[in-house]
Amino acid sequence: MRTRITLACTECKQRNYNKTKEKRLHPERLETKKYCRFCKRHTIHKETK
């Protein structure tokens, strides 16, 4: 079953993106480089609770 996760910017801590992932196949936290509209540049976004 896919669960919804939220990605937050590591620099400004704003929650910018929602995504789904399969927790059984990928139990580790997701980390990706995405555009933050508050910082106005690409930053690392991490999965939050």
10: left (phi over 0), alpha (psi -120 to 50) or beta: alpha
Q: Where do we find the tokens 């555009």?
A: 35
Question: Tell me, what's the pLDDT at 30?
Answer: 94
Question: Tell me, what's the pLDDT at 14?
Answer: 96
Q: How far apart are CA 4 and CA 19, in angstroms?
A: 6
> pLDDT, tens digit, for every residue of 1-49?
899 999 999 999 999 999 999 999 999 999 999 999 999 999 999 999 8
Question: Tell me, what's the pLDDT at 24?
Answer: 94
Question: Tell me, what's the pLDDT at 49?
Answer: 81
Q: Which residues of 9-26 are buried (b: 16+ CB within 10 A; e: fewer)?
A: beeeeeebeeeeeeeeee
Domains of the chain: 2-48 (2.20.28.120)
- DSSP summary character for residue 40: T
